[in-house]
Amino acid sequence: MTSAVLELNDHTINLYQDGDLISSSPGFALSLAGQTQFGQSAAEQSRLHPVNTHNEFWHRLSMTPLTRPLAHYRHNADIAHAHLLNIAESSDFEGDVVIAVPGSFSRDQLAILGGVLAKSPFRAAAMMDTGLFYAKSHMAGQQRLVFADLQLHQFSLTLLSRDQQQIRRESVAVVQGAGWSNVANALVQVINDAFIQQSRFNPQHSAFWEQHLYNELPDYLQQIRTGQADFMVSITTDKATHQARVSVAELVESLEPVFRRINQQLQMLLGDTPAPVLISERAAAIPGLENSLQVRQSPLGGEQLAQACVQASASLSVNGSDMPFISVWRQPEAAAEADLQTAPARVVATHMVLDHNAYPIAVSDDNETVTPSASASVLIQARAIAAGRTLFAGDTLSVDEGVELSLIRVHHGGA
């Protein structure tokens, strides 16, 4: 049994030890002045040095010779190996580990990955399907379920099914052009346009300020998760300070083409039989996506994946040098029910409470009466903040001037 889990997702390669995240490294490599940087430092300079940056070596893991050279590396497998060495060195890790692998990896890529790992400090005890072990504790009472996840260059939808106590990965749909890089481009364009319209300043005229927007984007998205309808972005150059107020609704609108492609793949994956959708925390950071996919449960974090993989590894029986790849899991009914109780599903809120009255979150009734006028203003702000987001009963929604509205679910004629 091992307590370490390495999650291979090129959005961010995460290493967990005893359930805690100890290393996080995006799938970027940058070669400058004879030195190669990996991870966050490479990502934060990728717009400054696009020709010297590679970020597809995990996505296109292969031993095909590189068409665009990077330092002394022959192919993407070489770069991936170097990235693993960098992660091991920076986290001071060497030893047994469970490898969580996206369902989008092909058989050939899994074989190459096995060879790459064999020459690294990570001694792989097993490979496990990421979607299966993110979602398996939520399968109790479900026949089918979809796990939605974000990668750097694509979006993945993993269909899981349950037959008695056996949970298996049925199939995986990949949405090209819907990864983090595509999402980030769309969001940064909206922010850039806001600067042009409001301050006549174009950050994209400078690689430095364009890079700044990409680097700050995760912080902007975190602000959105707190319930803001808009947020202020400020850039101070050597000549002036420029500001732009960015609308969350405009950000969500810019992503509608991406959402349509994801939903089309989801419909093709499910056919005529609907199934609930679970979503990873990194995918849930995209504004409007939870609402578009009609997600009804809280996003799943990497710590949950790590815990599931470690628990599963305790019951594995490995012969010799065999390294199993697990995309099917047999779990007793009682254990599945216990997992469900430890991670209860959260229900989506339908109403917000203001002055002891419940008002619908999504749509205002034309005949709705709200008094006094100050309360009406608060309600308008709250609905603007809630637009495009999935909110859960039991949470609160923060509005200007420190007002917090409780969120509830109202049932009409049944449970």
| Each residue's pLDDT tens digit, 157-181 | 999 998 877 899 999 999 999 999 9
pLDDT at 387 over 80: no
Q: What is the pLDDT of residue 414?
A: 40
Spell out the domains of the chain, with CATH numbers in brackets.
1-345 (3.30.420.40), 351-408 (no CATH)
Stretch 121-144: mean pLDDT:
89
pLDDT band, residue 325 (cuts 50/70/90): confident
- Residue 379 banded pLDDT, cuts 50, 70, 90: low
Higher model confidence: residue 382 or residue 364? Answer: 382
pLDDT, position 128: 93
pLDDT bracket for residue 290 (50, 70, 90): very high
pLDDT digits (tens, 9 = 90+) for 171-220: 999 999 999 999 999 999 999 999 999 999 999 999 999 999 999 999 99
Q: Which range (77-86, 124-133, 394-403) has the least confidence?
A: 394-403
Mean pLDDT calculated for residue range 329-356: 62
- Name all contacts of 361-369 with Cβ < 8 Å and 24+ positions apart: 361/386, 361/391, 361/407, 362/386
Residue 370: per-residue pLDDT: 46
Yes or no: say if 383 and 405 are a contact pair by the CB < 8 Å rule: no
Once rounded to an integer, what is the mean pLDDT over residues 380-400? 68
Confidence of residue 371 (pLDDT cuts 50, 70, 90): very low
Whether the per-residue pLDDT at 322 is higher than 70: the answer is no
Check residue 3 and give its pLDDT. Answer: 86
Instruction: Write out the two tokens for 119.
Output: 């020459």
pLDDT for 186 = 98
Question: In the prediction, which pLDDT does 404 show?
Answer: 75
With a cut of 70, say whether residue 340 has pLDDT above it. Answer: no
**Percent of the chain at pLDDT exceeding 70:** 84
User: Taking 50 as the threshold, does the pLDDT of residue 147 lie above it?
Assistant: yes
